[in-house]
Amino acid sequence: MNFSRFVILLSLSAAACSSTPATPPPLEGARIGGPFSLTDQDGKPVTDRSFAGKYRIMYFGYTFCPDICPTTAQTIGAAMRALDKSDPDVSAKVVPVFVTVDPERDTPKVVGQFVHAFYPRFVGLTGSVAAIDKVRKAYGVSASKEKPNAEGGYLVGHSNAAYLMDPDNKPIALLPTDQGADATADEIKRWVK
């Protein structure tokens, strides 16, 4: 064996032995998520098991939201479209899911119109108040209906977080939707294998 070949092999062996372990996901071990049984935008029953084997983005909001929810849904949709083009294998493994925190107004049809305005594979979920409360609490999402205005309309104050969940419905990371579609797509690519 010549000397230069020996040096190359020695360098490769040293690099393999000194590699640092992968960084654990930021939400590893967090008590976020759990089983649920809701209704999708087509009126069909959906459970957490419906997404088994897929990564999912879990975002909670409501369709009558005047600003935050549409902006976040738009960012998620733009990130997914970017992944469709740049990394279709990654995109194919991810299901973006919107869960309403306002089931009294957000019927399956209303949720469907909302999510499809942002991305065709976005899944919209609604259900009874009790079912929504259960899933909302499992994901650590706060929500409260504010006092109705004179016309009977109301806002819903809620936390704003988009969780990236693994194929076993365990939390991986919060997506940086406030930093835009590119940052969101980069964070998805970082964790989706």
**Residues contributing to the annotated binding site for Cu cation:** 65, 69, 158
Residues in a beta bridge with 129: none
Eight-state DSSP code of residue 103: T
- Collapse the DSSP code of 114 into the 3-class scheme (helix H, G, I; strand E, B; otherwise coil) and give the result: helix
Residue 146 CA, chain-centre distance (Å), reads 26
Where is the binding site, in residues?
65, 69, 158
* Residue partners of 154: CB distance under 8 A and separation at least 6: 145, 146, 147, 148
Eight-state DSSP code of residue 54: S
